[in-house]
Structure 1
Amino acid sequence: MRMRDTFIKPMHPEGRRFVAIFAAITLVLFLLWEPLGWLGVILTIWCYYFFRDPERVTPARPGLVISPADGIVSLIEKAVPPAELGMSDMALTRVSVFMSVFNCHVNRAPVAGKVTAVAYRPGKFFNASLDKASVDNERNSLCIEMPDGRQLAVVQIAGLVARRIVCFVKPGDTVQTGGRFGLIRFGSRLDVYLPPGVEPLVSIGQTMVAGESIIAELSMIGDRTE
C-alpha cells in the first residue's frame, strides 16, 4: 500500500455535494478574513473525511454476522425488532453500534441474503447512544432473509446531529455480506437484531469496523447461556 493511500481514502458520491458547499463557503470566508478561510479549509477536510468510503476486506468464512458500521458497541440487550418490518414479536438479541461524527458512515450488510422489507419511520433526534433512540428516533429498518430461511434485522438510526438516512436497497434486492447498503449523515447508530438463539461475540465498548469485525456466528446456537 502506498503512503498516500493511508491518508487519502475514496469518497462516497453522497459526499460530493457537501464538500463542494463547504469549499464554496471557504472561498467566501477567505475573502472576508483569512483566518476564517483556514477554518473553512479544516471543516472542508473534515467533511471529505466524514464521507470517506474505504475498501474493506470481509471475512470469507460463511455463517458470520459482520458489523454494519464503524464505531463502538454501545448496547447489547434483548428487544423486539421494529414492528414495521412485520417480523415476529419475539425479543431478540440486539447489538447496537454507535457512530461518532469521526467514524466512516457508510453502512454495510451484516449477512448475505434477500432484502424482504425496508421500512422508514420518522421520529425524534435524541443522542443515538441512548437506549430510547431505538424506539423514538428517526429510523430506517431492513429485514434480510438468509439462504437458510432465518431473518436478521438491521436498523439505521438517526442521532442528535444526523438529519438524513440514506438507503441504497429496496425489497427484493440481494445483498452480500459486507456490501454497502446505505449511510447516515453526521453521527448515528446501527442496530442488529440477531436470529433466535444466536449470541453475540462482542462486548460493550468494543471497537467495530464495518464490513470486517465479527459480531456473531450463526452456527453458534445455544452454546452460551444468559
Structure 2
Amino acid sequence: LGFKSKWGPKYYIRQITGLIARRIVCPLSVGDPVKRGERFGMLKFGSRTELYFDNAFEVDWKVKVGDKVKGGGTVIAVVKVAGSAAETPENEEAVSA
C-alpha cells in the first residue's frame, strides 16, 4: 500500500502473509482516503507488516526489530520532512501500529 503524506513525500506499508494462515484482509481500493489511526486491514496468524519511508523523511524510530506492537496503540516512529525545522510540530507526524 502506498500513502502520500500531507507534505508530499510517500510512504509504503507492505503486508506479508504468515506461513500458516496466509490471509490478509484489506478492504481499500486505489484512491481511498485513510485517516490517521484508521484501520485499513487485518493480518491474521503470524503475518507481518513492513514500513518504508521516502528519503525525503527523517525518521526517529521508537521501536526496534522484534518489539511487540499493538495496533492503534504503539507509536512506531516520528517522521518529519527532511530539512524542515525540528521545532515545527506541523512538520512532524507520529506513525502508530
Could you state the TM-score of these two structures normalised by the residue count of structure 2? 0.71
1:176-207 Cα offsets, whole Å, 9 max, x none, are 12111111232210111123232422222322
Which of the numbers 8, 11, 17 marks the counterpart of 1:152? Answer: 11
1:92-134 Cα offsets, whole Å, 9 max, x none, are xxxxxxxxxxxxxxxxxxxxxxxxxxxxxxxxxxxxxxxxxxx
Deviation beyond 6 Å, 4+ runs, structure 1: none
Corresponding position of 2:75? 214
Aligned 1:12-23 pairs, distance under 5 A:
none
| C-alpha deviation, 1:170, in angstroms | 0.9
Question: More helix by proportion, 1 or 2?
Answer: 1
Which of the numbers 30, 46, 63 marks the counterpart of 1:171? Answer: 30
The answer to whether the 8 Å contact 2:20/2:46 transfers is: yes
Corresponding position of 2:91? none
Aligned 1:120-135 pairs, distance under 5 A:
none
Query: Which structure would you say has the larger Rg?
Result: 1
SS in structure 1 opposite 2:41?
strand
Identity of counterpart residues, as a percentage?
38
Which of the numbers 41, 51, 62 marks the counterpart of 1:201? Answer: 62
Q: Which runs of 5+ in 1 are unaligned?
A: 1-141
| C-alpha deviation, 1:214, in angstroms | 1.0
Corresponding position of 1:181? 40
Question: More strand by proportion, 1 or 2?
Answer: 2
Could you state the TM-score of these two structures normalised by the residue count of structure 1? 0.33
Q: How many residues align?
A: 82
Q: Which runs of 5+ in 2 are unaligned?
A: 87-97
The answer to whether the 8 Å contact 1:157/1:188 transfers is: yes
